[in-house]
Homo-oligomer: A and B are copies of this chain.
Amino acid sequence: MSEITTNFNDRTIEYNQLLDDFKSLIKKNNLKFTIQREVILETLYNSDEHLTPEELHRIIQEKYPELKTGIATVYRTLSLLEDSNIVTSLSFGAQGKKYELGAKDHHDHLICTVCGDITEFVDEEIEKRQHKITDELGFKMLDHSMQIYGVCKACQEKNKSN
């Protein structure tokens, strides 16, 4: 039995639960619950992809054109969600960040450099080693991220058949 698990797309967290959490957070900080904030959370929830702020904005504009949601609101809401650990971001150099719901369990990323597809995985042994390393150095770990770049199975096969 492998310790490796992939693709958390079978949602462990119900949307209503997530929404409730977000509402509590908002109430606790004397913020306001707006339709824009709800739509951004919902869109992130319903997407299996890692989205850039721009992609998120475009999807929302297409689905709810009457809201005229501004890109600035998307950025502001993503910051709020990231600060609250509801979403997490992946950096892609100067080409910006991609966001995903962070309510799932922690996981790392396999990134295909051909098709851009991102696969998630968790490895308990790696997690353990990370703690061991930081403990030994007296480093207080707050977060970590790991990306493996390469060519996914599908792209390798596609390449063979050409």
Contact = CB atoms under 8 A, between A and B. Distances in A.
A140 B150 contact: yes
Contacts of A121: 133, 137
A35 interface: no
Contact of A146 (B113, B144, B153): B144
Given A94-B97, A134-B148, A146-B144, A129 B139 contact: no
Contact of A139 (B126, B137, B138, B151): B151
Given A97-B94, A142-B113, A153-B139, A148 B133 contact: yes
Copies of this protein in the assembly total: 2
23 contacts: A2-B136, A6-B137, A91-B92, A93-B96, A94-B96, A110-B134, A110-B137, A119-B137, A121-B133, A125-B125, A126-B130, A129-B129, A134-B148, A137-B152, A138-B156, A139-B151, A140-B151, A140-B152, A141-B149, A142-B149, A142-B150, A142-B151, A143-B150
Interface of A: 2, 4, 6, 89, 91-94, 96-97, 110, 112-113, 119, 121, 123, 125-126, 129-130, 132-134, 136-153, 156
**6 interchain residue pairs of minimum CB distance:** A138-B153, A146-B146, A91-B91, A144-B148, A141-B150, A142-B150
